[in-house]
């Protein structure tokens, strides 16, 4: 937003719907550098076709994306290739 609007944003707020709690986050130079660095890593992984493994945790039970993410598949199969291989073998067994 800072780049688009050409303004300096001093703080933001995260709202947690489940707890109805708002957390104020100070936006300083250290945070900006961290965000730029993480964004660059994300773009690099995208260019290289890398999907990082999901990290399974207690947070998964309240996550709205758990059905899309399916973090337990990462733990069980370790790679997309293993998942596809397993799914293919299962489909052959049912035929």
What are the pLDDT tens digits along the chain (95 aa)?
888 999 999 999 999 888 899 999 999 999 999 999 999 999 999 898 887 777 788 888 888 877 777 776 666 556 667 767 777 776 666 55
Residue 12's domain comprises 1-52
CA diameter of the chain:
61
The answer to whether residues 59 and 48 belong to one domain is no
Q: Work out how many domains the chain is built from and give that number.
A: 2
The answer to whether residues 43 and 65 belong to one domain is no
The answer to whether residues 46 and 59 belong to one domain is no
Burial of residue 54 (number of CB atoms within 10 Å: 0-12, 13-18, 19+): middle
Handedness of CA 77, 80, 85, 89 (dihedral sign): positive
Q: Check residue 3 and give its pLDDT.
A: 87
Residues 58 and 52 sit within 8 Å (Cβ to Cβ): no
Q: Check residue 14 and give its pLDDT.
A: 93
Residues 22 and 14 sit within 8 Å (Cβ to Cβ): yes
Q: Check residue 73 and give its pLDDT.
A: 67
Tokens 């050409």 locate to: 6
């Amino acid at each position: 937003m800072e780049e688009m609007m050409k303004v300096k944003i001093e703080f933001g707020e995260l709202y947690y719907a489940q707890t109805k709690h708002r957390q104020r986050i100070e936006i300083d130079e250290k945070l900006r550098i961290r965000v730029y660095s993480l964004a660059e890593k994300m773009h690099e992984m995208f260019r290289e076709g890398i999907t990082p493994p999901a990290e399974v945790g207690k947070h998964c039970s309240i996550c709205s994306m758990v059905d899309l993410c399916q973090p337990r598949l990462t733990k069980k199969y370790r790679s997309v290739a293993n998942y596809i291989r397993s799914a293919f073998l299962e489909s052959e067994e049912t035929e």
